[in-house]
Chain A
């Protein structure tokens, strides 16, 4: 099998910043656009009377989006190079689509934030960066676009970088890169620019191909939420009992001691099975089936970890949440279904500690509710214990969703804070 790996990217920015042009350029120059797709977009552009082929039409696939010329929802795009395959979540930039940006960023290894060199770092780019860090995206690339319109000026670029660095210092950005580019002309997107000799870094695609996404994963804390218990009802495997799931973090090997939560029983890993047969080691993101030496009580929603490295077992959860529902608001006293890893329970909103202004990051402690696209810190009390880690340490055991039981809609996404004792 190939040694090409997979990286997930989220983009944020508006059409005005040249985001669609940038995506079009990445797809086109990496030969991931097909002739008939381009022809269809060109024909639609002509029919609408555009002066140029509008590459935004490539990602704006819904009727309403094409009619109104806006991006409503996350669109997924795929491109690959010899080194890596990319899943690109293209998210709308406007504030009324914050929830879509949060969705795209939730699984991203890297976020591309596009700014127009003429206008510098806008309120919108600051909001995007804040959301990116809230969702724990490890790599952020600030794409300073339209450099051709500022005469390829190093001074303009430097000023933008300084300004952004000052702002980002208040946030947790593990890896921040700046790249001056012109998506329209192709400078520093796939190939190096000849117009900016003062810039020593490589083009964007090179950065995306070489960033270390594997090292972002947590190889220390074993967290294996049990997803499904495999018990064949057939004569050839009557005594078989396997626990299927994804290794969310840590390394698991046959012979390792494990503790099952919530029961607390311990056992030893007998074998680990994958589509390729038994393996000697399972690492994060692998879907595996774990078999134990002892028959202990383990079912869906339980978690396997190491005996001396457990997540916190909690019914009180302190979290930041993004409210995603247009039809209702979050208020203290309301109850929701909560899903964390493979475990469901119910949660009571005990307190809304504060709401966060996503543009200024100002905390409003007088807020009494959260409406669509608003972010705030809440205290939840749950009906069953959950096995959690802070989101900054573990994106899998640190995240959850809330579901309104009267509509079954997913109404909020939450990231668990570090608990203060």
Chain B
């Protein structure tokens, strides 16, 4: 890192800002928790959280909302890394919530919406008043408007027209019982920043982020890997392509992209030159409408 002009490089400045936010939450909130999905953003978030308190352990637990539709290697990656950090892992299970009748499977098979009540229920059960998320403002236009400390009412809802002003680095995390904060330490990072930081700090990631030959089917211009969650239909033509994932969500919703980038440096080159946003390229869940994300966030989604 260059300290020559007593100026932080932009990555170091982002890192410092994120660590400040994470420490602020640990200092002021009663019972915080970090949401971890196994994706690249939450990997960076967890890494920053561990830096913020070293040599001490994470002063809060890590929670994964498991839709039951996760890629197997993401789950393995999650377990390995959380245990390496000596952190406490809480798993909130959507399949369990379905079998208990807490939520019902949606007709289209997407568990994107029904994971929200599962998340809220788990947060309430554990008494969490602050949940860290890895969302970034460059991902989506509703997120571009969201605060770093984002207030949720006692139903977990976001009200975009009634957000707390957020000035300087003075965050207001005060909540009444039942209310909570979602906190986004990576708000000011872009996809490219995330990848550069992963390369710089050598942060481990699931293999899915790197290109290899995988069996895929083409659905409406999006490539889905053939696996237990998206089996090939009779009419599908199964292709073997060199592909990788730019984002990792549920296996039945997240598409991959054609790529030969099998190392972090190659991925960096690809991300630097791409002309498509990661969600636009790969996420079925955001294609519903112009305000799909805002609508889901209002209900308590990340």
Contacts and interface: CB of A to CB of B under 8 A. Distances in A.
Contacts of B141: 58-61, 75
Contacts of B169: 107, 246, 396
B165 A410 contact: yes
Contact of B56 (A75, A232, A287): A232
Nearest to B187: A76
A237 B144 CA distance: 41
A276 interface: yes
Given A66-B291, A75-B145, A410-B164, A37 B10 contact: no
B8 A102 contact: no
B16 A287 contact: yes
B168 to A, nearest CB: 5
A99 B160 CA distance: 15
Contacts of B176: 408
Interface stretch (A1-9, A147-155, A183-191, A263-271): A1-9
A225 B62 CA distance: 28
A214 interface: yes
A395 B168 contact: yes
A268 B64 CA distance: 43
Interface in B246-298: 274-277, 280-281, 290-291, 294-295
A156 B281 CA distance: 46
Interface string B9-53: 111111111011001101100000000000000000000000111
A345 to B, nearest CB: 13
B138 A275 contact: no
A342 interface: yes
B10 A6 contact: yes
Nearest to B51: A275
A6 B57 contact: no
B17 to A, nearest CB: 8
B27 A227 contact: yes
A283 B3 contact: yes
A379 to B, nearest CB: 21
A396 B168 contact: yes
A420 interface: no
B110 interface: no
Interface string A245-268: 110000100000000000000000
B9 A2 contact: yes
A340 B172 CA distance: 11
A231 B142 contact: no
A220 interface: no
A286 interface: yes
Interface stretch (A308-316, A382-390, A397-405): A397-405
Interface string A285-300: 1110000000000001
A72 to B, nearest CB: 7
B92 to A, nearest CB: 27
B161 A72 contact: yes
A64 interface: yes
Interface in B88-132: none
A392 interface: no
Given A73-B160, A84-B10, A237-B56, A2 B174 contact: no
Contacts of A60: 141
Interface string B173-190: 011100100000001101
B175 A78 contact: no
A1 B2 contact: yes
B9 A410 contact: no
Contacts of A35: 275-276
A106 interface: yes
B76 to A, nearest CB: 27
Given A61-B141, A227-B24, A401-B167, A275 B190 contact: no
A59 B144 CA distance: 8
Nearest to A64: B161
A73 B163 contact: yes
Interface in A58-91: 58-64, 66, 72-78, 80, 84-85, 87
Contact of B290 (A66, A236, A342, A408): A66
Nearest to A236: B55
Contacts of B165: 99-100, 102-103, 324, 401, 410, 413
B214 interface: no
Interface centre among B23, B26, B160, B295, by most chain A C-beta atoms within 10 angstroms, is B23
Contacts of B51: 275
B6 interface: yes
Contacts of A360: none
B249 to A, nearest CB: 17
19 contacts: A1-B9, A3-B2, A5-B13, A6-B10, A34-B277, A58-B141, A62-B161, A63-B291, A75-B144, A78-B138, A85-B10, A234-B56, A237-B56, A246-B169, A276-B1, A287-B17, A287-B19, A401-B170, A403-B172
Lowest 10 A-B CB distances belong to which pairs?
A: A61-B141, A36-B280, A232-B56, A6-B10, A85-B10, A214-B7, A106-B167, A287-B16, A287-B19, A408-B174
Given A5-B7, A58-B141, A60-B141, 11 more contacts: A4-B10, A37-B277, A76-B188, A214-B7, A227-B27, A230-B56, A246-B20, A246-B169, A396-B168, A408-B175, A410-B166
Interface of A: 1-6, 34-37, 40, 44, 58-64, 66, 72-78, 80, 84-85, 87, 99-100, 102-103, 106-107, 213-214, 217, 219, 227-228, 230-234, 236-237, 240, 244-246, 251, 273, 275-276, 279, 281, 283-287, 300, 324, 337, 339-342, 395-396, 399-401, 403, 408-410, 413
